[in-house]
């Protein structure tokens, strides 16, 4: 569900202003709308064109860090990601390369795993030194795990807390200087013409490409009948991305536990059981 569907006053005001914002961007950038608007979970997308070129006008609600998103797209500059042509940070509007309608979630698991691994490898170029590091994130979150686990009613056995802390210790030592998309999953990878598949809405981090492997699993774990299928899917991504298996499995445990706690604290009901399934398969308790 889009987060801008709630009735908080800033979001209501933004929704009321959308027609004016679209008109202003079209005037400023010499664009013409050419299709119905659609949305994901974080933004409204309006198909537009300029001459013979087709684009997407992305309008983000209040609270969206458009400056960071624009920096990420500028950094990768179309290497595995959608291209960005214009940006208006104060109004939270960007003009992006138009992608196809089909996401990577629409293709079979094995094919999706191979594509995702190749994209992870393609995104792994030297990163800016001033963006958050995955090792730093893992070390910081590990200090918060015991207290959050306790406050949430010890929702899984203590053995899973210990497994997550051990995994976080591994993840916190895996220093790397390559770029990582910290929000990579199939719904944010769409078919394209310039490259077969391209990522949009990336989050630029520095560190270990294994960081978001767990997200690739929990977003499609309902299609995986058992632990063996989870391992096969994970290992196919790992092989395609050129990652080290044991370290990748540690990241799965750490991130699954991390998201389990976050999801429960924020009232999610569907994703926490998916994280528990991943922990049951990968934590080896």
User: Two tokens at 280?
Assistant: 């049951």
Task: Give the contacts of 85 (CB within 8 A, at least 6 positions apart).
Answer: 55, 95, 96, 97
Kindly list the distances between the CA atom of residue 41 and the CA atoms of 4, 44, 148, 248, in Å, as whole numbers in the listed order: 8, 9, 26, 28
Residue 269 CA to residue 134 CA, distance in Å, equals 27
User: Two tokens at 204?
Assistant: 């630029």
Residue 150 CA to residue 166 CA, distance in Å, equals 18
Task: Give the contacts of 256 (CB within 8 A, at least 6 positions apart).
Answer: 164, 214, 217, 218, 275, 278, 279, 282
Which of these is catalytic: 64, 88, 105, 183? 183
Instruction: Determine whether 271 is an active site residue.
Output: no
CA 82, distance to chain mean position in Å, is: 14
Task: Return the DSSP state at 122.
Answer: H
Could you give the residue ranges of the DSSP H alpha helices within 63-125? 66-76, 109-123
Q: If DSSP codes are grouped into helix, strand and coil, which group holds residue 57?
A: strand
Residue 235 CA to residue 230 CA, distance in Å, equals 8
Residue 90 CA to residue 187 CA, distance in Å, equals 27
Torsion from C-alpha of 118, 120, 124, 129, nearest 10 degrees: 170
Which residues have a catalytic role annotated? Answer: 183
């Amino acid at each position: 569900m889009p987060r801008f569907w709630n009735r908080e006053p800033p979001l209501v005001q933004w929704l009321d202003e959308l027609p004016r914002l679209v008109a202003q961007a079209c005037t400023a950038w010499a664009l013409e709308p050419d299709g119905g608007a659609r949305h994901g979970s974080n933004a409204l997308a309006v198909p537009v064109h300029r001459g013979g070129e087709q684009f997407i006008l992305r309008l983000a609600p209040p609270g969206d860090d458009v400056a960071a998103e624009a920096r990420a797209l500028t950094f990768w500059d179309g290497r595995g990601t959608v291209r960005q042509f214009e940006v208006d940070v104060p109004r939270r509007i960007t003009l992006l390369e138009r992608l196809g309608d089909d996401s990577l979630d629409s293709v079979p698991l094995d094919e999706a795993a191979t594509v995702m691994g190749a994209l992870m490898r393609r995104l792994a170029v030297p990163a800016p030194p001033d963006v958050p590091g995955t090792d730093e994130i893992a070390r910081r979150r590990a200090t918060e795990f015991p207290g959050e686990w306790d406050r949430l009613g010890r929702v899984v056995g203590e053995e899973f807390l210990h497994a997550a802390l051990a995994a976080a210790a591994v993840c916190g030592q895996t220093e790397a200087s390559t770029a990582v998309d910290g929000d990579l999953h199939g719904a944010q990878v769409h078919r394209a013409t310039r490259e077969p598949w391209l990522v949009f809405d990336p989050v630029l981090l520095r560190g270990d490409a294994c960081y978001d492997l767990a997200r690739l699993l929990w977003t499609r774990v309902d299609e995986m009948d058992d632990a063996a299928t989870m391992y096969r899917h994970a290992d196919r991504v790992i092989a395609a991305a050129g990652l080290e298996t044991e370290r990748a499995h540690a990241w799965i445990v750490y991130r699954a536990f991390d998201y389990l706690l976050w999801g429960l604290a924020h009232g999610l009901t569907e994703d926490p059981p998916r994280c528990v399934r991943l922990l049951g398969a990968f934590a080896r308790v």
